[in-house]
Amino acid sequence: MHPERLKRQAYSVAAMRARARRTLPAAIFDFADGGAEDERTLRRNEEAFDEIALLPRPLNGAAERDLSLTLFGKRLSLPVIIGPTGLAGLFWPDGERCAARAAAAAGTAYCLSHGSVCTLEALAQCGASPRWMQVFIYRDRDFTRELTERAAKAGYDGLVLTIDNQLTGNRERDLRNGFTIPPRLGPAALAGMVIKAPWLLRMRRELRRITFGNYVRPGEAADIGSLAGRMSSLLDPSMSWKDVGELRRVWQGPLLLKGILHPAEAKTAVDHGIDGIIVSNHGGRQLDGAPAAIAALPAVVEAVGGRVPVLVDGGVRRGADVIKALALGAQACLVGRPQLWGLAIAGEAGVSHVLDIYRREIDRAMGLMGIKCLDELGPDCLAGRGV
Ligand SMILES: Cc1cc2nc3c(=O)[nH]c(=O)nc-3n(C[C@H](O)[C@H](O)[C@H](O)COP(=O)(O)O)c2cc1C
């Protein structure tokens, strides 16, 4: 999409979602957009931000605002990080590397999903930094160790252990659409793709290559079907703190736990030497009925007591949402779906555009609130039922 058209038509994250819906085959749009079961948690994520109001003090204003922060020793130019999303390469050719380059250009971090199409080594080769790698605890603990060691060798700056995906959530939009991993295309899905000609044209060569890159073993077929089977059989719902302790021993750099909602679990994580917490319900894709991430944040922040950074994701769609999260004690937010919408519309330029929307909205909201830098954000900047 031409940059001017992008600016004019995709003026907000919601507008980007609407454009992505028009661009993508329905089954692929829903794969990203949907949540588990009745999508209560998915809805709550966004709605919970409505309950929180911002309390401005304009006479404390500044001509220029500073949106930067330091996280794990790296300077980031804005408090919005690209979160891990599997199969980003289904939205745009080489989607993961496009998004990582856009994050680096915007001065922020990119987290690669375990389920990326490109390998973690290929992502590292594009030089985007800071880059984090997301892993699971697998039944085959050696495989967790193997991925971790590969990430260390490839120079990743952080490791993210996702703890809320040990069973796959029940995503009913995918059932309705017949969308599976691997994508098995029935007549309806196929018809849905044909009417999205630009996406199909762009992806026609890629589709054959779509796989879970990190799971392909040397000499083995890269067939996504057998890999998807192996991947879900590898997940282990019986993981425990012992596994977290083991990972802590293997990975020397910053280690984050993603998927924490319970304050007691956050406290135990810190006691196990974890360097960062990501308060998350997996964008409402896993346990339907879980609280909104932003609603769970304050108790986690209190339990952690400033010992390690707390990040949050889920339903962050406006710069003002980022401000609310930071005022409640988060250091930064991650975004999942918005980067996929950016990719779907314009690849790397689309993700750059999404990050630019957040940057402009955060800056404007800070200006209107009389906030000069992120450190000034605290509970006294908020009002409303959610506080
Ligand atoms: C299509 C898709 C794939 C995802 N894949 C992963 C994944 O592989 N690992 C992970 O930890 N989280 C994954 N997530 C969850 C995101 O990292 C993030 O927690 C969530 O999307 C945040 O909510 P948001 O989409 O409202 O920003 C995925 C989310 C989506 C939408």
| pLDDT (tens digit per residue) in 49-66 | 999 999 999 998 888 999
Query: Which residue's CA is the closest to the ligand 1 atom numbered 2?
Result: 85
Decide: 339 and 351 in contact? Cβ < 8 Å: yes
Q: Is the CB of 158 under 6 A from ligand 1?
A: no
Percent of the chain with pLDDT over 70: 96
Q: Is the CB of 45 under 6 A from ligand 1?
A: yes
| pLDDT (tens digit per residue) in 319-345 | 999 999 999 999 999 999 999 999 999
pTM, rounded to two decimals: 0.96
Q: What is the pLDDT of residue 373?
A: 98
| pLDDT (tens digit per residue) in 233-250 | 788 889 999 999 999 999
From 282, 311, 317, 343, mutation site for ligand 1 pocket: most ligand atoms within 8 A of C-beta? 282
Decide: 98 and 343 in contact? Cβ < 8 Å: yes
pLDDT level of residue 183 (50, 70, 90 thresholds): low
Q: Is the CB of 173 under 6 A from ligand 1?
A: no
Peptide bond preceding 182 in cis form (omega within 30 of 0): yes
| pLDDT (tens digit per residue) in 77-129 | 999 999 999 999 999 999 999 999 999 999 999 999 999 999 999 999 999 99
Check residue 373 and report its DSSP letter. B
To the query of whether residue 114 is one of the catalytic residues in this protein, the response is no
Residue 385: name the closest of 85, 151, 53, 132 by CA. Answer: 53
Mean pLDDT across 202-213: 86
C-alpha 219 – ligand 1 centre gap (Å): 30
Q: What is the pLDDT of residue 110?
A: 98
Decide: 328 and 294 in contact? Cβ < 8 Å: yes
204 CA to centre of own chain:
26
Q: What is the pLDDT of residue 249?
A: 96
Query: Which residue's CA is the closest to the ligand 1 atom numbered 8?
Result: 86
C-alpha separations of 314 from 90, 94, 130, 165, 364 in Å: 21, 25, 21, 15, 22
Which residues share a beta bridge with 333? 80, 312
C-alpha 60 – ligand 1 centre gap (Å): 37
